[in-house]
C-alpha cells in the first residue's frame, strides 16, 4: 500500500558524537520538563519535539533547536518560566555544588577557577565567599556574564551545561580552550540509564522545556572528548572529569593508574 502520510521529522539525523545515522527514538511535547514526575507545572504546548538516538554510540538528541539563536533560547527556554521547570536553578544546586567542591578541594585548591555556563553566578559567589581568590564565570545566555573571560584556568567547572548544548563538539572544545596545563575540567551531566530503551523519552531527564537537547551515553561521551586529547573519568553517572596530566590539587582524588578509565572517590564526594 502506498504510504500517503509524510514524515514530520527526519527519518535519519547524523549523530553529533560519532557521525553515524541515527533514526528517530521518540517524540514528546515541547513542554515536557524535568519536574514532570514531581509536579505538573506546564500544560501541553502542542509542539512536538522529536529525539533521535544513535545505534552506534547511544547519543540521544534533538535537532529541533539547532537553528535557535541565543535570543531564541532566552525567549523560549531560559525565560521567566524557566525556574518553574528547574527550581534548583535559583540557588540550591549552586550551594550543593559549592559544598561538593569545598569537600573535593579540602586538601589542595586550584588557583584559577572558571564556572563555565554558571547561570546566575551563585556558585562563583559561594566559592569566593569560601576563600577561592580567583573565580570567573562565563555564560553566553546570561547577558551580565556573557563576556568571555581572559586567560586560562587550572580548573574549569561546568555543572548541568553540556546537555543544553546543540553542538556538544563545540562546547567541549570551547571549555578545553580555557584550560591551562596541567588542568582539570570537572563537569556534570546525567548519563542515560541502562534501561533507556525501556524508559524511552519517559526518562525524567529528557526535557526539551529544560533545554535538555543532548543526552549522553558513556560511549557517546567518550566519542566526543577523546578527539580533544583528554582523559575522561567518572565519579558516578553524573559527575565527570577531563584532564591530560593530573594537576597537584587533584592527586588526592584521582588515581594515576586508573586515570583514563575511572576516578577514585570518597564517600563525602559521592554525597554530591
Ligand atoms: Zn553516535
120 alpha carbon to ligand 1 midpoint, in Å?
33
Mean pLDDT, the chain, integer: 89
Quick one: which of 35, 92, 84 has its CA closest to 272? 92
Query: For the CA atoms of 96, 72, 49, 117, what is the dihedral angle to 10 degrees?
Result: -20
Omega before 236 within 30 of 0, i.e. cis: no
**pLDDT more than 70, % of the chain:** 92
**Tens digit of each residue's pLDDT (9 = 90 or more) over 158-174:** 999 999 999 999 999 99
Give 13-270's CATH code, choosing from 3.10.20.70, 3.40.50.150, 2.30.40.10, 1.10.630.10.
Answer: 3.40.50.150
Most confident of 97-111, 120-134, 152-166, 248-262: 152-166
CA distance readout (Å), 17 to 56, 72, 169: 10, 24, 7
pLDDT at 31 over 90: yes
112 three-class SS: strand
Quick one: which of 170, 206, 225 has its CA closest to 53? 206
Q: How far apart are CA 26 and CA 19, in angstroms?
A: 20
205 alpha carbon to ligand 1 midpoint, in Å?
19
17 alpha carbon to ligand 1 midpoint, in Å?
5
CA distance readout (Å), 250 to 33, 106, 126, 171, 233: 35, 10, 20, 23, 12
pLDDT at 195 over 80: yes
191 alpha carbon to ligand 1 midpoint, in Å?
14
Which whole number is the average pLDDT over 58-62? 98
Range of weakest confidence among 3-17, 183-197, 203-217: 3-17
Which whole number is the average pLDDT over 234-257? 86
Q: How far apart are CA 98 and CA 122, in angstroms?
A: 9
pLDDT higher at 61 or 7: 61
**For ion ligand 1, residues whose CB falls within 5 Å:** 15, 17-18, 20, 54, 56-57, 59
pLDDT at 265 over 50: no
Amino acid at each position: 500500500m502506498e504510504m500517503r502520510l509524510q514524515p514530520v521529522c527526519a527519518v535519519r539525523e547524523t549523530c553529533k558524537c560519532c557521525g553515524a545515522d541515527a533514526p528517530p527514538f521518540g517524540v514528546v511535547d515541547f513542554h515536557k520538563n524535568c519536574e514532570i514526575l514531581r509536579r505538573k507545572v506546564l500544560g501541553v504546548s502542542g509542539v512536538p519535539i522529536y529525539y533521535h538516538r544513535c545505534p552506534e554510540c547511544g547519543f540521544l538528541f534533538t535537532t529541533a533547536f539547532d537553528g535557535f539563536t541565543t535570543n531564541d533560547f532566552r525567549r523560549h527556554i531560559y525565560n521567566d518560566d524557566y525556574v518553574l521547570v528547574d527550581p534548583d536553578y535559583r540557588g540550591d544546586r549552586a550551594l550543593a555544588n559549592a559544598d561538593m567542591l569545598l569537600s573535593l578541594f579540602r586538601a589542595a585548591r586550584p588557583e584559577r577557577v572558571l564556572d563555565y555556563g554558571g547561570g546566575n553566578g551563585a556558585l562563583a559567589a559561594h566559592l569566593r565567599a569560601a576563600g577561592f581568590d580567583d573565580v570567573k564565570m562565563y555564560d553566553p545566555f546570561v547577558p551580565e556574564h556573557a563576556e568571555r573571560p581572559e586567560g586560562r584556568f587550572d580548573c574549569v567547572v561546568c555543572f548541568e551545561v553540556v546537555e543544553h548544548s546543540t553542538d556538544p563538539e563545540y562546547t567541549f572544545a570551547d571549555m578545553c580552550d580555557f584550560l591551562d596545563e596541567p588542568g582539570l575540567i570537572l563537569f556534570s551531566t546525567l548519563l542515560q540509564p541502562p534501561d533507556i530503551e525501556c524508559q524511552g523519552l519517559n526518562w525524567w531527564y529528557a526535557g526539551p522545556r529544560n533545554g535538555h537537547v543532548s543526552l549522553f551515553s558513556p560511549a557517546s561521551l567518550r566519542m566526543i572528548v577523546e578527539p580533544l586529547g583528554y582523559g575522561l573519568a567518572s565519579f558516578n553517572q553524573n559527575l565527570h572529569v577531563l584532564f591530560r596530566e593530573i594537576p597537584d590539587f587533584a592527586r588526592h582524588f584521582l588515581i594515576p593508574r586508573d586515570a583514563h578509565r575511572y576516578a577514585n572517590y570518597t564517600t563525602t564526594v559521592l554525597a554530591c
